[in-house]
């Protein structure tokens, strides 16, 4: 058996894969946060709660209505996206003129509300969700055994992230979005319906979170508090990467997931804290973040 630093290579690679899985969740969530922050100047604390809603909707769809995983992968993000757009229209919209802190506080309150609501129905124990039939089992890649579902999560999230990058950086719609991020007033003066764009952007950002939630449902515990611990790590990821660049968010998310995975192998005690430690170091060396611009 091949070994690296005294640890079997296959164990190392399976941790690498696990890290990539977590990293893809970080990437999708921090990407959504960055897109929302760019246009709305709101840090969406509720992102974790909406990710949880995606997972719980997947579970509810299967349990109550018999809707399978693949359908929920589309339906849950749509539902959560619509829910997000309603929140934006009813509540968030009224805070844009104020200090950015109020957006954070409002979404924090919404997080408590959403989590508490689901907790009053489902408690805090995990709800079981099966891996869909097509992705059960594992594939022997020769150098390691890869559980199919984990591979799928990484591929699907990467595809969604890159598609998002393509739309924002390479299409007309994305150009309008970038223009709105740069200067909302001027964009509006050119006849673009910026308020509508803001609503749709928020809806898209939270739909991304819900998509991550559905992906997570079969491998992580589906329970009302699953989002709140994740969102704090994602905040650290955002501080490390800076919110200036789409590809930067994706890379930082994946990279930190991998580092966390390796920490689990070499020094498990620090696996929960390593991302925060890296954040502290980045703040000392490059306060604006790896891909951020000093503002």
- Tell me which of 63, 68, 74, 116 binds other proteins, using CB under 8 A: 116
Task: Among 7, 112, 162, 163, indicate the residue that binds other proteins (CB under 8 A).
Answer: 112
Listed ranges 5-13, 16-24, 90-98, 155-163: which one lies at the site for other proteins (CB under 8 A)? 90-98
Binding of other proteins by 232 (CB under 8 A): yes
110 binds other proteins (CB under 8 A): yes
137 lies in the site for other proteins, by CB under 8 A: no
- Sign of the dihedral through C-alpha 35, 41, 42, 43: positive
Per CB under 8 A, does 256 bind other proteins?
no
Q: Which one of residues 95, 206, 207, 208 is an interface residue with other proteins (CB under 8 A)?
A: 95
Q: Which of 78, 91, 144, 192 binds other proteins (CB under 8 A)?
A: 91
Q: Does 189 bind other proteins (CB under 8 A)?
A: no
- Of 45 and 129, nearer to other proteins (C-beta) is 45
Q: Does 8 bind other proteins (CB under 8 A)?
A: no
Q: How far is the CB of 55 from other proteins (least distance, A)?
A: 18
Q: How far is the CB of 8 from other proteins (least distance, A)?
A: 26
Span 24-63, contacts to other proteins by CB under 8 A? 37, 43
In the set 4, 74, 82, 105, which binds other proteins (CB under 8 A)? Answer: 105
96 is a contact residue toward other proteins (CB under 8 A): no
Residues that contact other proteins, how many (by CB under 8 A): 43
Q: Which of 115, 150, 197, 291 binds other proteins (CB under 8 A)?
A: 115
Q: How many CA atoms lie within 13 A of 184 on its CB side?
A: 13
**Based on C-alpha coordinates, what's the Rg of the chain?**
19
Number of residues in the chain:
295
86 sits near other proteins (criterion: CB under 8 A): no
- Residue 71 vs residues 49, 58, 65, 82: alpha-carbon distances, Å: 21, 9, 12, 17
Site of interaction with other proteins (CB under 8 A): 37, 43, 91, 94-95, 98, 100-102, 104-106, 108-117, 119-120, 228-229, 232-233, 235-236, 238-239, 269, 272-273, 276-277, 279-280, 283-284, 287-288
């Amino acid at each position: 058996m091949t070994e690296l630093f005294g640890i079997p290579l296959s164990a190392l690679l399976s941790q690498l894969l696990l890290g990539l899985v977590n990293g893809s969740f970080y990437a999708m969530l921090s990407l959504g946060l960055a897109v929302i922050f760019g246009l709305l100047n709101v840090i969406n604390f509720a992102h974790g709660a909406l990710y949880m809603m995606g997972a719980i909707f997947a579970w509810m769809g299967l349990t109550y209505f018999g809707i399978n995983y693949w359908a929920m992968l589309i339906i849950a993000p749509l539902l959560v996206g619509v829910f997000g757009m309603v929140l934006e229209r009813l509540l968030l919209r009224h805070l844009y003129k104020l200090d950015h802190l109020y957006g954070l506080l409002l979404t924090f309150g919404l997080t408590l509300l959403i989590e508490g609501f689901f907790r009053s129905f489902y408690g805090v124990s995990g709800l079981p969700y099966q891996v869909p039939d097509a992705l059960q089992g594992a594939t022997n890649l020769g150098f390691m055994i890869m559980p199919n579902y984990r591979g799928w999560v990484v591929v699907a999230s990467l595809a969604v992230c890159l598609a998002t990058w393509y739309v924002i950086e390479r299409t007309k719609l994305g150009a309008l979005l970038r223009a709105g991020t740069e200067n909302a007033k001027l964009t509006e003066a050119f006849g673009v319906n910026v308020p509508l764009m803001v609503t749709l952007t928020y809806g898209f950002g939270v739909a991304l979170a819900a998509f991550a939630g559905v992906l997570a449902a079969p491998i992580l515990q589906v329970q009302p508090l699953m989002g709140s611990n994740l969102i704090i790590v994602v905040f650290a990821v955002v501080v490390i990467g800076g919110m200036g660049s789409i590809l930067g968010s994706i890379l930082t998310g994946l990279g930190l997931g991998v580092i966390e995975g390796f920490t689990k192998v070499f020094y498990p005690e620090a696996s929960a804290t390593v991302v925060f430690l890296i954040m502290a170091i980045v703040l000392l060396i490059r306060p604006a973040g790896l891909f951020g611009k000093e503002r």
